[in-house]
Amino acid sequence: TPLTTSRPLNIAVAGTGYVGLVSGVCMAHRGHNVTCVDIDERKITIMQDGISPIYEQDLEELMYLNRDRLTYTTDYISAYKNADAIFIGVGTPEQPDGSADLTYIATVARQIAETIEKNCLVVVKSTVPVGTNDKVEQFIQDFLVNDVKVEVASNPEFLAQGTAVRDTLEAARIIIGTNSIEAEDTLMAIYEPFGLPIVSVSRRSAEMIKYAANDFLALKISYMNDLANLCELVGADIEDVARGMGYDSRIGSKFLNAGIGYGGSCFPKDTKALEYLATLHGYELRTVKAAINVNKDQKILLYKKACQRLITFNGLKVAVLGLTFKPGTDDLREAPSLDNIPLLLAQGADIYAYDPVGIENFRKKYPEAGLDPERKNGKGSIRYVMSAEEALDGANVCFIFTEWGEIKAVMPETYKRLMRTPLVYDGRNIYAVNEMRDNGVEYYSVGRK
Ligand code: NAD
């Protein structure tokens, strides 16, 4: 039974991506009236038909359940002008120098300034460098058309793709960063029906908490990957090591898996953005810098291992299992597959790729027809198949990049049975080393003997 608010507010959300749409739908689920705004007409049209433009568990069900409190539109003027609160959930992508690109935020800020007709709270949910909320507030003041009062608050988001709805409705904490009692009160009213712990801090601290938390997780991953590489050299097993570490409650047992590095839309850009911010202030953030460097090398670790084993990939049938940066999402941003597949293609591999949901997006980047099947330029080819078995059939080598349930379900004997040569490079340590060996598979993974 959903908790609902006794004080429903009119909320607009700018941006209907993973963060904006999930937040908007969950706020409607808790009783608020929410208008989701996007500039992408295609997205809006399909949402109006009840379809989610992103793959996220339970999202469509909640869109349906709360349809009376949800509106989807590209008409930002009518969405913003009478809103009690406007959430900004647009992207803040990485720029070539590592800094966060704030142009989408600025566009929304300007649209808000030019349209609002009553006092309102603007809530920055996107991940933004410390100090951005101050700038957004000033920017809105500078462009304000009507005589209304606008305040800006920080409310960073911690959801993880693949579990976004659950992460929002059952968040470990909600961070609100405000500079006034009124702003704090409005955010409290919005989140009160969620019944979750709320941490109320200054705007700058809230902005920093987001980077601090994300970069710590990235650091944890890079630390385990760095150790995994050493484990291989000295004959220890990273999984045993992680198990032994995890019992210590100061360390915790989560996020200790070694693999081929972190991807996604957040860790890579948020580590670089914090490092950039530090450099801007004349400070070298050595720990985060190390996490970035370890991750860069880790992503192509298995490819390099395979190069030590094989003369060439030219003309080899290569099975690729998993394209997305993690299971449960169709998102490919910074996925290890994107680092490895161009290297394999450049060497002339014939790739047969399988992913339960990522193919459609991957095909946009690497269309089958766009490649040269006759390898006239010494280049490889890529085809997309509907099952792991199809990819493995007759393959010379297999790379596992994502630990989807469908891929974990492939039995070790299947590799031996279907592949021409059962040579497997597993970036997610899906299988027990002994099991693969006992089934006659030549198996390489991360941090294990
Ligand atoms: P996204 O790219 O999936 O979605 C952004 C959306 O904003 C797009 O649909 C785009 O069309 C829309 N948009 C752009 N300009 C607009 C405008 N002027 N008005 C209305 N809509 C506009 O982005 P995302 O992954 O949801 O990330 C958004 C922010 O949240 C980023 O700052 C990101 O760092 C942060 N964040 C993301 C996650 C995650 O897991 N994806 C988690 C926590 C925080």
List, chain by chain if needed, residues with CB within 6 Å of any ligand 1 atom: 14-20, 37-40, 43, 89-92, 104, 107-108, 126-127, 157, 159, 161, 265-266
pLDDT, tens digit (0-9, with 9 covering 90-100), for 276-291: 999 999 999 999 999 9
Which residues of the chain are in CATH 3.40.50.720 domains? 10-201, 299-444
pLDDT band at 256 (very low <50, low <70, confident <90, very high): very high
| Mean per-residue pLDDT of the chain | 95
Nearest CA to ligand 1 atom 28: 91
Nearest CA to ligand 1 atom 20: 38
Is 313 labeled as ligand-binding?
no
> Domain 210-297: what homologous superfamily?
N-(1-d-carboxylethyl)-l-norvaline Dehydrogenase; domain 2 (1.10.1040.10)
CATH number, span 299-444: 3.40.50.720
The pLDDT assigned to 1 comes to 43
What's the residue count for the chain?
A: 449
Averaged pLDDT, 172-176: 98
> Among 25, 37, 90, which is best to mutate for testing ligand 1, by the most ligand atoms less than 8 A from CB?
90
Nearest-angstrom CA–CA distance, 334 and 322: 13
Q: Which residues contact 7 (CB under 8 A, 6 or more apart)?
A: 189, 192
- Whether pLDDT at 378 is above 60: no
The pLDDT assigned to 375 comes to 56
CA atoms within 13 Å, Cβ hemisphere of 65 = 14
Map tokens 């309102």 to a residue: 120
Nearest CA to ligand 1 atom 10: 15
Averaged pLDDT, 46-63: 96
For residue 394, what is the DSSP state? T
pLDDT, tens digit (0-9, with 9 covering 90-100), for 114-170: 999 999 999 999 999 999 999 999 999 999 999 999 999 999 999 999 899 999 999
Q: Which of 26, 266, 307, 398 is catalytic?
A: 266
**Residue 119, strand partner residues:** none
Strands 150-154 and 10-14: unpaired
Q: Which residues contact 66 (CB under 8 A, 6 or more apart)?
A: 25, 28, 29
CA atoms within 13 Å, Cβ hemisphere of 14 = 27
Nearest CA to ligand 1 atom 37: 19
Tell me, in angstroms, the distance from the centre of ligand 1 to residue 387's CA: 31
Beta strands in 15-69 (DSSP E): 33-37
pLDDT band at 368 (very low <50, low <70, confident <90, very high): confident
| DSSP result, 63-132 | HHHTGGGEEEES-HHHHHHT-SEEEE----PBPTTS-B--HHHHHHHHHHHHH--S-EEEEE-S---TTH
Burial environment of residue 286 by CB neighbours within 10 A (0 to 12, 13 to 18, 19 or more): exposed
Is 326 labeled as ligand-binding?
yes
Burial environment of residue 22 by CB neighbours within 10 A (0 to 12, 13 to 18, 19 or more): buried
Nearest CA to ligand 1 atom 13: 15
| Contact yes or no for 162/328 (Cβ under 8 A) | yes
pLDDT band at 373 (very low <50, low <70, confident <90, very high): low
The pLDDT assigned to 48 comes to 97
Atom of ligand 1 nearest to the CA of 111: 18
- Whether pLDDT at 409 is above 60: yes
| DSSP result, 185-216 | HHHHHHHGGGT--EEEE-HHHHHHHHHHHHHH
- Whether pLDDT at 249 is above 90: yes
> Among 25, 26, 38, which is best to mutate for testing ligand 1, by the most ligand atoms less than 8 A from CB?
38
Helix (H) or strand (E) holding 10: strand 10-14
Which residues of the chain are in CATH 1.10.1040.10 domains? 210-297
- Whether pLDDT at 376 is above 60: no
Q: In one letter, which amino acid is 26?
A: C
Tell me, in angstroms, the distance from the centre of ligand 1 to residue 25's CA: 15
The pLDDT assigned to 372 comes to 56
Among 3.40.50.300, 3.40.50.1000, 3.40.640.10, 3.40.50.720, what is the CATH number of 10-201?
A: 3.40.50.720
Is 256 labeled as ligand-binding?
yes
Q: Which of 47, 90, 94, 53 is nearest to 71 (CA)?
A: 47
How far lies 220's CA from each of 169, 214, 382, in Å?
A: 25, 10, 34
Asked about 231 being catalytic, the answer comes back as: no
The fraction of the chain above a pLDDT of 90, given in percent, is 94
Q: Which two tokens stand for residue 173?
A: 């904490």
Tell me, in angstroms, the distance from the centre of ligand 1 to residue 134's CA: 20
Nearest-angstrom CA–CA distance, 448 and 236: 7
Better pLDDT: 379 or 102: 102
The pLDDT assigned to 4 comes to 77
Strands 174-177 and 85-88: unpaired
Nearest CA to ligand 1 atom 15: 104
Q: Which two tokens stand for residue 435?
A: 């099991």
Atom of ligand 1 nearest to the CA of 126: 32
pLDDT, tens digit (0-9, with 9 covering 90-100), for 438-447: 999 999 999 9
Better pLDDT: 1 or 317: 317
- Whether pLDDT at 5 is above 90: no
Tell me, in angstroms, the distance from the centre of ligand 1 to residue 90's CA: 3
- Whether pLDDT at 105 is above 70: yes
Tell me, in angstroms, the distance from the centre of ligand 1 to residue 163's CA: 16
Averaged pLDDT, 308-330: 95
| Contact yes or no for 241/234 (Cβ under 8 A) | no
The pLDDT assigned to 369 comes to 59
Nearest-angstrom CA–CA distance, 212 and 433: 35
> Among 36, 46, 215, 265, which is best to mutate for testing ligand 1, by the most ligand atoms less than 8 A from CB?
265
Whole-complex ipTM: 0.99
Q: Which two tokens stand for residue 163?
A: 């579990």
- Whether pLDDT at 370 is above 70: no
